[in-house]
Structure 1
Amino acid sequence: MERRTFLQKGTLAGISALALGGAATSANAADTKPAAAGKTFNLDYAPHAGMFKNSAGDDFLDQIRFMHDQGFRSIEDNGMLGRDTALQNKIGELLAKLNMRMGVFVIDGGDNWKISLTTGKKEFLDLFLKTCERSVELAKRVNAKWATVVPGFFERKLPIGVQTGNVIDALRRGAEILEKGGLTMVLEPLSDTPDLFLRNSDQTYMICRAVNSPSCKILFDIYHMQKNEGQLITNINLCWDEIAYIQIGDNPGRKEPGTGEINYKNIFKHLHTKGYKGVMGMEHGNALPGKEGELALIKAYRDADNFLG
C-alpha cells in the first residue's frame, strides 16, 4: 500500500470514529476531546438537501432527521418553492416537531439568471410580484422567515443609475407583499458571473436602504464576498445593520470550512461576539465523497465552531 493511500485511509477512519461517538483526535495529538455528535452548535448552521444523503438516504425527511441527530437546528432549501405542496407540508410539520428553523428558499419565477428587473419592464415586474405572492403561501407551510432574491443580470443598454432605480422600484413592490406575510427577502450579491447586477455588499446595502423595508435585507454569502471583495469582517461590520442572513462556503472550491483560505473560526467567533442569532446557511458542497466525506464535513463544523475555548 502506498504511503499516501495509507494516510488517507487512516484519516478517514479517524473521522468516522469521531462522528460515531469515539474519541476525537485533532491534528494536534495533545488536543483530544470527547465526540460532540448530537450536541447543538454555538451558531445555527443549516445544511441542505443531499448534503447527508449517503448517511441518511435519499428521502429529504430522513436527511432532516439525521441533521437534527448531528446537532443541526436549521435547514435551507433553495428549491423549496418548486417542491409539491404535500412535501412542503410534511417538511414544515417535521421541522416544527424537531424544533428546527427553516432557512432560505429562493424566490425565482424563472428570471433570476437573465436580464430582468434591471430593465424596468412590466412583464418582469409582474412575474416577480406573482412569485412573491407564491412565496408567502409557501412560507406559511414551512414557517420560513427569509427568502433569497437575485435581481438578474445587468441591462447594459441602460445607465447603471437607471438600472439601480428599476431594481429598487421592483423590490419596494415585492417588499409590500412580503411584509404582509412576515417574510423577508434577502438580497444576495453573487460571484458566479460578471453579468449579475448584484455583486458587492456595499451596493446591496445601498439598495436595502433605498427600499427602506424590514422585508428587504442582505444575504451575506461569505464565499461569494471573499471572491468579489475580500475584507470579510470589515465589510460585515460596515453592512451589519442590513444583514439578516449569512451563508458559508470556503474559497477556493466552495466546500466546508477548513478546505480553503478563509479563517472561518475567526469569522464565526466575530459573528457570535456581535450577537448574531440568525441562520448560517451551509451553501457549499462536500470536499470528500460518500459517508466519510459527510462525517468529515460535520467534523469541520465542530472544529470551526470551537471558538469559545
Structure 2
Amino acid sequence: MIASTALGLGGIGVLSAFRESPEQVKTGFKLKYAPHLGMFKESAGEDPIDQLNFMADIGFTAFEDNGMKGRPQHLQEKMAATMAKRGISMGVFVAHTISWDKPNLANGDASLREKFLAEIKESIEVAKRVNATWMTVVPGHVDLRLRKEFQTAHMVESLKRASALLEPYGLIMVLEPLNFRDHPGLFLTDSPQAYEVCKTVDSPSCKILFDIYHQQIQEGNLIPNIDACWDEIAYFQVGDNPGRNEPTTGEINYRNVFKHINSKGFEGIVGMEHGNSKKGKEGEQAVIEAYKSSDAF
C-alpha cells in the first residue's frame, strides 16, 4: 500500500519544520514498518492526528497502537479516518487485560476465561471501528501449581473459544511470546511453544506475533526459528538488543532479517515496538535513518 500524496495542512507544516536539508524526502520502504504514537512527537507535536500525518509524510504505510482500545471512541474514529485518507494500515492493539503477575488463561479458571472472552468481544468492535485486522494476546503468568501440559490445555481451550468469536469477522489475535528477562514468570515465552499452541488451536484467527527483540533474548537463532514458525506468523515486531531501541543500535543484523522476511513474501506489518536511542528531533531523525539503512537490501 502506498501512502497518498494528498497532505493535510498539519502534516505539511511539521514536515517542513523537520527538514534539515533538501535530501530529506519521502521514503519508499519495502516493508510496512509501523511506528507508534510518541515516536515522532518532538517533530510532529502531541496531537495524534498530526503524528499520523507526519508518519505518512515520511513514507511509513502502517501504524500500531497498543493503547488504541482505551482511547475515546471519537478519537478512534478520527484516527481511523486519517489512516484511511493517508494510506496507513492499522496494526496491532492490545486486546485484553494482561495478567503480568497472576495466572489467568493458564489456570483454567472459568471466571477469568469469561472475562477474557468478554474483552475479545469488546476488541472486535474496536477493530471494526479502526479497520484493524490484528490484536495482541498475552496469555499471562504461569500457574506454579499446575503441570505445563495442563496449563497449555487450558490456554488452548480459551483461545479456541476466542477464535470462534473472531473468525466471522476475519480478525486475528496474535500470540506474543515475551522474554524471561523483561517479563519473568509469563507462560508464553518461546516461538516453538507459540507454534505448538497455534497448531493445536487450528484457526486462521490464532497466529503468532514474532517479536524479534524478545526472541533474540529468549532463544536467538532468529532466521531459522522464523522459518520454522513461518506458516503461523502473522505479524512481526522489532527492537534492537540490548536497549530495545531502533535497528542499528544493538547486535541484531536487521538488514539481513528484513531481507529474509521480504524474500519469503511477507506482506504484513512490522511493528516498531521500541524506544528512540536519542532524545529530541535528532533522535527521531536517527530512527528514520535506521529504517532507511535497514531497509536498503
Determine if the alignment matches structure 1 residue 42 to structure 2 residue 30: yes
Who is 1:9 aligned against?
A: none
Give the Å deviation of 1:109: 2.9
User: Which digits, 9 at most, give the CA deviation of each residue in 1:79-113, with x for residues without a partner?
Assistant: 11111111111111111111110000001235355
Greater displacement, 104-113 / 241-250: 104-113
Which structure: larger Rg?
1
- Would you say the 8 A contact 2:176–2:210 is kept in 1? yes
Who is 1:117 aligned against?
A: 105
Give the Å deviation of 1:22: 3.2
Who is 1:303 aligned against?
A: 293
Q: 2:142 aligns with which of 143, 154, 176?
A: 154
Q: For 1:157, give the aligned amino acid.
A: R
User: Which digits, 9 at most, give the CA deviation of each residue in 1:232-284, with x for residues without a partner?
Assistant: 00000000000000001000000000000000000010011111100000000
- Would you say the 8 A contact 2:98–2:140 is kept in 1? no
Q: For 2:124, give the aligned amino acid.
A: V
Who is 1:181 aligned against?
A: 169
- Would you say the 8 A contact 1:249–1:284 is kept in 2? yes
Give the Å deviation of 1:199: 0.2
Determine if the alignment matches structure 1 residue 68 to structure 2 residue 67: no
Determine if the alignment matches structure 1 residue 168 to structure 2 residue 156: yes
Greater displacement, 105-114 / 39-48: 105-114
Give the Å deviation of 1:183: 1.1
Q: For 2:27, give the aligned amino acid.
A: K
- Structure 1 gaps, min length 5: 1-18, 24-33
Over 2 Å off, 4+ runs = 19-23, 109-114
Give the Å deviation of 1:177: 0.6
Alpha-carbon separation, structure 2, partners of 1:146 and 1:53 = 25
Q: 2:206 aligns with which of 216, 219, 223?
A: 216
- Would you say the 8 A contact 2:27–2:292 is kept in 1? no
Alpha-carbon separation, structure 2, partners of 1:221 and 1:182 = 22
- Structure 2 gaps, min length 5: 1-17
User: Which digits, 9 at most, give the CA deviation of each residue in 1:194-225, with x for residues without a partner?
Assistant: 30000000000000000000000000000000
Give the Å deviation of 1:166: 0.2
- Would you say the 8 A contact 2:212–2:236 is kept in 1? yes
* 1:220 counterpart SS class: strand
* 2:99 counterpart SS class: coil
Name the count of aligned residue pairs.
Answer: 280
Q: For 1:147, give the aligned amino acid.
A: M
Q: For 1:304, give the aligned amino acid.
A: S
Who is 1:22 aligned against?
A: 21
Alpha-carbon separation, structure 2, partners of 1:42 and 1:179 = 29
Determine if the alignment matches structure 1 residue 280 to structure 2 residue 279: no
* 2:106 counterpart SS class: helix
Q: 2:235 aligns with which of 225, 234, 245?
A: 245
Q: RMSD value over aligned CA atoms?
A: 1.6
User: How high is the TM-score relative to the length of structure 1?
Assistant: 0.88
Q: 2:224 aligns with which of 230, 234, 242?
A: 234
- Would you say the 8 A contact 1:186–1:245 is kept in 2? yes
Identity of aligned residues (%): 53
Who is 1:145 aligned against?
A: 133
Q: For 1:212, give the aligned amino acid.
A: D
- Would you say the 8 A contact 1:112–1:150 is kept in 2? no
Alpha-carbon separation, structure 2, partners of 1:113 and 1:220 = 22
Who is 1:200 aligned against?
A: 190
Give the Å deviation of 1:38: 1.2
